[in-house]
Amino acid sequence: MHVTAPRAEHRTDPLGLGESRPRLSWTTATDRPGWRQSAYEIEAGTERFTAESAESVLVPWPFAPLTSRQRVQVRVRVRSAEGDWSGWSPPAAFEAGLLHPADWSARFVSPPADEHLLRGDFTVRQAVTAARLHVTALGVYEAELNGVRVGDHVLAPGWTSYHHRLRYQTFDVTGLIRPGPNTLGAVLADGWYRGRLGFEGGATGIYGDRLALLAQLELTFADGGTRTFGTGPGWRCAAGPLIAASIYDGETHDARLEVPGWSSPAPPPDPATWRPVEVVEHDLATLVAPTGPPVRRTGELAPVEVLTSPSGRTVLDFGQNLVGRLRITAEGAAGERVVLRHAEVLEEGEPATRLLRTAAATDVYVLRGGGPEVWEPRFTFHGFRYASVEGPADPGLVRAVVCHTDMPRTGRFECSDPLVERLHENAVWSMRGNFLDLPTDCPQRDERLGWTGDLQVFAPTAAFLYDCAGLLESWLADVAAEQAPSGAVPVAVPNVLGERSAFAAAGWGDAIVLVPWTLYRRYGDAGLLERCFPAMCRYVDHVAELAGPSRLWTEGYQFGDWLDPAAPPDRPGAGRTPKEVVATAYLAHSAGVLARAAEVLGRDAERERYQALAAAVGEAFAAAYVRPEGTVLGDSATGYALALTFGLLPEPGQREFAGRRLAEVIAEGGHRIATGFLGTPLVCDALTEAGQVATAYRLLLQRECPSWLYAVTMGGTTIWERWDSLRPDGTVNLGEMTSFNHYALGAVADWLHRCVAGLAPAAPGYRRLLIRPRPGGGLTRARAALRTPYGPAEAAWRLDGEQAGELDGGLEVTAVVPPNTSALVHLPGAEPFEVGSGRHRWTVPGPGRPSGSGLGSGLGSGGQSHRLIGGLLG
């Protein structure tokens, strides 16, 4: 038994924790089959706590609360069900950040004009044993200490609802402190705080018109003494090489204006260049520590091809639609310019910049001259596959630097169809590009907003692919903070669209209910559910009030099944499914989920209340929108998918009819996609649960437009916003709302994980797995692997024959069940059964083989003989 070092909350870095009682998680690695934990012991410094408990995920802090700056070594050991103890885990050093506003003695300081460089000088006369820098900005910043970059964060402090929550970062800078003179400096830029945000031109200065820095450096000396140095009246500012920096429009850097040694003690600052800063007031109570990882550079790509466009431009193709920026190497005379323009696709051989709308997405570097110069923008990002390069930069040395929130990758999928694998990879790349500090809709045009509907449908996929719990915890805190007094949830959070965003829209506002529930199901975080619960109730109560006594949500603007392929290009909400069907279905679903959340939290009164509401809305839905035989108003794929997956068809005959009719609707459309943002994530599940798995596979494997694989066959490397963002003739969709990097329609990846490969949670946090593969569609193998909160899990299957369904072939299913968990196993042709942790393998007849012909030993069940070999491997 080997226990991992404990983890605090959902943090990958336990420095600067914002919780005084951080919950702890650990995993146990062991080759003992069926292993279970019966007790644990936690050691924090000189204290120990022992509990007779099998819990190992988000375990409550058992000691006195941490105080600001307190650092403690924590380790864990566990006892098996047989009574033997493991060794101690490696220690984890947990350190609290600044937990109270009074802990800050530094003040926000602002340059009086457009200066971007700030510095403060101090002297160290004793040996330093520890140094911590707590820092944030109104705007975005990069800090330097004695000429060395602090940390590796990109676009810190990130984007939150700044009026409510402003994150600060904590860095260990012990190794950067020098005896004698020291200088702490920072570069400021507009970022999301002061920069342009929103579409249709957007607006600037939404949060404020002054950039500002807050930095507090705390030193601990060898004799135990301490000293704090922070931003205040003695700081100075100066102009520098940063001419402009905009999230949408790009960055301009004039290297001729660089200030050598600007963040170093020598040379001392010239009073003629460095002007005094101004102290500005900002509510320190809004400061919060991060709950997830920062944005970082996570990779780089070289061009796969250097093209010359019809107009003579040099265009680089990186072979992958990505999010980040370019790093260039240039050589030329002082004053020469390198101009970089970014685009996702080519249109008639030229970068399709019209799709960016008003976003310039252009970076400019002005050379200082005198030798090779390497430059990468710091305060912007772009969504692109192609980039045109104008000026004296070597195209062969240009690199695309990939940037996104540095979430640990947790889930993977593979199968025998390369196109399906590429579809899954496209969903991964779209998540990488759009999980840049918060979940956005797209990363390239003048939008890049935290649309709630997109994340609501994609959250199950996201929680499988990456450990995004910390990032989404922060975003949900903003959702709750931005919630209107009425209970309405803005359709985009942070809300920079103002009143036009602050209304209840079905499928969008429901994110405040459904995303916390998804995170509870995938990570086992009941504490997050508890924190979100009041906002969840306010939203459902508000929508129930809008529905009124009829319990039908028919009032107000609705997006409906957004981007149904049948909708006109200029009316993306005008799909086949009546909007009142979509809205009422979501009210019933959210009320039911809220009742389940109340049950988890032990809130019996709320459970009964929302169960009754869900039942009443469901009855109203069935009476108003469902015919006696089961036809759903609109007779659309989305309507049936909603009714089936949300449990809105009260009679078994209606459910059977709706399942058959859904398959017929899909077949009548040539097995092409007939759903939009809200129907697409549900349609394969609805077909599967209705026993129409073959139709679900035909829908998945369709290659003609509109379909998931159509974009793959057209060379797509991310998920598109529109099914026909690129038309079959190779021309780009003429709509002004055409993105090639929107993850919402990639939510089908969750079905690939759970149903194709067969790996799903049967209990919160995967404490119990559901292993239930559903082979089909001509696939000969599939596999899903996930690092659950309890350790690695896996489900895989393979057909023995070379072709799926071969009569003499068997189906081999393998599974990995993490220690301290179990799995419910559903194999084709066999009754469900339970297994403990370990590696398992079973063989059953293949899809085309009669269940009476045998492999292995028979297991009797209900008078029918099922052939199955089961056991542990290793």
Measured CA to CA, the distance from residue 413 to residue 760 in angstroms comes to 13
- The angle, 0 to 180 degrees and rounded to 10, between the axes of the packed helices 452-465 and 680-689 is 60
Measured CA to CA, the distance from residue 825 to residue 759 in angstroms comes to 10
Region label for 147, one of left (φ > 0), alpha (ψ between -120 and 50) or beta (otherwise) = left
Between strands 382-390 and 337-343, the pairing is antiparallel
Cβ(336)–Cβ(367) below 8 Å: yes
Burial bucket for residue 281 (CB in 10 Å: 0-12, 13-18, 19+): exposed
**Residue 613 burial (CB count, 10 A):** 23
Which of 9, 344, 447, 580 is catalytic? The answer is 447
Instruction: Give yes or no: 721 in active site.
Output: yes
Structure-token match 């912007």, residue found:
380
Cβ(518)–Cβ(475) below 8 Å: no
How many Cα atoms within 13 Å fall on the side-chain side of residue 321?
Answer: 31
Measured CA to CA, the distance from residue 326 to residue 302 in angstroms comes to 10
Instruction: Give yes or no: 350 in active site.
Output: no
Nearest to 308 by CA among 388, 394, 397: 388
Measured CA to CA, the distance from residue 239 to residue 113 in angstroms comes to 9
Q: Where are the beta strands (DSSP E) in 22-125?
A: 24-25, 28-29, 37-44, 47-51, 71-80, 92-96, 108-110, 117-124
Q: Peptide bond preceding 439: is omega within 30 degrees of 0, i.e. cis?
A: no
How many Cα atoms within 13 Å fall on the side-chain side of residue 714?
Answer: 26
Cβ(109)–Cβ(231) below 8 Å: yes
Query: How many residues in the chain?
Result: 874
Measured CA to CA, the distance from residue 377 to residue 368 in angstroms comes to 16
How is the chain split among helix, strand and coil, in percent rounded to 5? 25, 30, 45
Sign of CA dihedral 616, 620, 626, 628: positive
Strand, coil or helix: what is 206? Answer: coil
Which of 425, 721, 794, 812 is catalytic? The answer is 721
Measured CA to CA, the distance from residue 501 to residue 495 in angstroms comes to 7
Instruction: Show which residues are catalytic.
Output: 447, 721
